[in-house]
Structure 1
Amino acid sequence: MTTAATAIVLEAAPFLLLGSLIGALIEVLVPERTLLRLIPRSGTGQVAVGVFAGMLLPTCECGIVPVVRRLLLKNVPPRVAIPYMLAAPVVNPVVIASTLFAFQGDMSVVGLRLLLVIIPAAALGFALGDASPRTVLRQQPIDLKRFDEAEAAHLPEHDHAHGCGCGCGHAVSGPFARTRAVLFHTAAEFVSMGRFLVFGAVVAAGFKAFLPPAVLEFFIGSPMMAVGGLMLLAIALSICSEADAFVAASFASFPMAAKVAFMAIGPMVDLKLIPLFLTVFTRRVAVALMVVPTVTVFVMGVLLAWGGW
């Protein structure tokens, strides 16, 4: 169990670090007005940008939550940020290529996997409507940026050394000030999120260590049991989205619909993401992030299984 937990942490930590770095770069270097200028005004356009942004900014689910939190703190609409968080770990070139390779060039598997991720991601985006970033986030720690304070700190009439806007006390004057601010934010975000990654890895390793192989065989009997069983396994194992297609392909006795459901739900909801959802987002949003993808993928997976997949 210890070995499995360590393996999960070592596999996920680089992506969490990368996500924390991307979030820090957004926090320090990207002005809010520049970011918002790239976002369409229409609700449909915003959801579409969020769903497909991973094609340009691919991020594993191990590091997506810090990036999305920073985007929301930059006042990016939840209608963009939440679909991006759910879809980007799958709707990106790296995962599409790995899925295609694992299933020997079967484009139908890739298409179904994308479909089972895009639908709940877009549904949550539309459901959020015109919600404010503040309404989906929990109260932030003191080392994170509050939008109003950051704007006040960067008004041009101030002639003193400015902070980075997060309340951490770092000045942004001097030749290496921005670099220091990026490193500080990266470290703070990584440590803040890392403890939940470790907790999720321990729980996932426990499932992996103590789940008897005979249990899997029990679920093969019916489409509902097969889809639900592999979904539960995906949530428990918490495998990175770049590698889960190879694990799914190894379940030879399960129907393809169950394998696709396995690959769809894991990157959206797993034991390392659930603690992060509950920590970063309000309870209602966190529950929706867990329930909507799970129910949607299960229903679609069962329908595919009944259709012969």
Structure 2
Amino acid sequence: MQDISIFAMAATSIFIEAAPFLLLGSLIGAVIEVLVPGEILLRFVPSNPAGQIAAGLFAGMLLPTCECGIVPVAKRLLLKNVPPRAAIPYMMAAPVINPVVIGSTLFAFQGDVSVVILRVLMVIAPAMALGLFLGDASPREVLKPQPAELKRFGEQEEKHGMYDHVHNYGCGCVCGANDENKFKAMLFHTGAEFISMGRFLIFGAIVAAGFKTFLPPEILDVFSANGWLAVTGLMLLAILLSICSEADAFVAASFVSFPIAAKVAFMAVGPMVDLKLIPMFFAVFNKRVAIALVVVPIVSVYAMSFILTLGGL
């Protein structure tokens, strides 16, 4: 009975700490979705490769976007002829390098700036590598001939010629919507995003609390004492749990006995590759690009975690 109480307290604690950041991220994402066109910061992308990659990363810093909705956004950017060198790095990095996620990571790890820096670097590196990998590919070469119409909760996607356009409840885009409709749209987006991603947070909190409460300490000790096992185990857990980037730091921090390298790997790989993202990649991008979107982040994060492990982290 005592174990059940400890489990309930641990799961509730993780959720209560993470939920405000998830709600804040949902609210900011809703404001941007309704009031700011997704391509506004990428409209004037430089012509040189390095500038295009930098533009994508810069947009990711300013536009908080959860990974659950980033693939449809990237698809729309590509359909509007935004260079893949900008759109793909934006898609991979935006869920992590924005102020909301940086703030939640700092809070979860009690102000440890080094954890934030390591997390950001582990995400930016594969995002840049994917931008370079795409070379001079055109947007149409990156996408499937007929990319799937990805819809989030409450969205209805319509076709206007060769471009797609997403209409939502109280659509706040350039459709003649008034301020009242825009406000309703923001409330709707906030609620839909919070509910959609809250279920993953609840599931992740339950799993993390279950590991801490019911798994024999000697098994956890085996993982925590072996950097390789710890990194592999938490990376696999991140892919399976599919927790929103605004909240995953609290789950990672709950694995107190695990090394920093493993916890950072958990927070880096999850927002780039998880069970909800992989099917989206293969539905939107051609097979070669989709495979790269899965393999490059996993290999990059694992390699960087190996270096951290060798350094005693």
Question: Normalized against structure 1, the TM-score is what?
Answer: 0.71
The CA deviation at 1:269 is 0.8
Counterpart contact for 2:25–2:64, Cα < 8 Å: no
Partner of 2:190: none
The answer on 1:267 being equivalent to 2:268 is no
Counterpart contact for 2:42–2:56, Cα < 8 Å: no
Partner of 1:137: 143
Q: What residue ranges of structure 1 are gaps of 5+ in the alignment?
A: 151-164, 169-175, 187-195
The CA deviation at 1:234 is 0.8
The CA deviation at 1:88 is 0.6
Partner of 1:69: 75
Counterpart contact for 2:25–2:246, Cα < 8 Å: no
Partner of 1:160: none
Counterpart contact for 1:245–1:263, Cα < 8 Å: yes
Change in Cα spacing, 1:232 to 1:108, as seen in structure 2 (3 Å) is same
Change in Cα spacing, 1:226 to 1:133, as seen in structure 2 (3 Å) is same
Change in Cα spacing, 1:230 to 1:59, as seen in structure 2 (3 Å) is same
SS of residue in 2 equivalent to 1:90? helix
How far apart are the structure 2 equivalents of 1:217 and 1:210?
16
| 1:161-208 superposed Cα distances (whole Å, 9 cap, x missing partner) | xxxx6699xxxxxxx94449x9xxx9xxxxxxxxx99xx99x989988
SS of residue in 1 equivalent to 2:267? helix
Change in Cα spacing, 1:107 to 1:72, as seen in structure 2 (3 Å) is same
Partner of 2:45: 39
Q: What residue ranges of structure 2 are gaps of 5+ in the alignment?
A: 1-10, 151-155, 168-173, 187-195
Q: Which runs of structure 2 are paired with 1:1-20 in the superposition (5 Å)?
A: none
SS of residue in 2 equivalent to 1:89? helix
The CA deviation at 1:219 is 2.6
Change in Cα spacing, 1:83 to 1:71, as seen in structure 2 (3 Å) is same
How far apart are the structure 2 equivalents of 1:226 and 1:167?
41
The CA deviation at 1:54 is 2.0
| 1:81-103 superposed Cα distances (whole Å, 9 cap, x missing partner) | 11011101110111111111111
Q: Matched residues, percent identical?
A: 58
How far apart are the structure 2 equivalents of 1:225 and 1:281?
32
Counterpart contact for 2:204–2:251, Cα < 8 Å: no
The CA deviation at 1:51 is 1.7
Counterpart contact for 1:16–1:63, Cα < 8 Å: no
How far apart are the structure 1 equivalents of 2:23 and 2:114?
32
| 1:196-249 superposed Cα distances (whole Å, 9 cap, x missing partner) | 99xx99x98998899873565543342211111111111111111111111111
Partner of 1:306: 310
Q: Which runs of structure 2 are paired with 1:1-309 in the superposition (5 Å)?
A: 37-138=43-144, 139-141=147-149, 149=162, 177-179=175-177, 213-214=215-216, 216-309=220-313
How far apart are the structure 2 equivalents of 1:13 and 1:178?
28
How far apart are the structure 1 equivalents of 2:210 and 2:114?
34
Change in Cα spacing, 1:224 to 1:100, as seen in structure 2 (3 Å) is same
| 1:8-33 superposed Cα distances (whole Å, 9 cap, x missing partner) | xx99999799879966877xx68x8x
Which stretch shifts more, 284-293 or 130-139? Answer: 130-139
Question: Normalized against structure 2, the TM-score is what?
Answer: 0.70
How far apart are the structure 2 equivalents of 1:146 and 1:308?
53
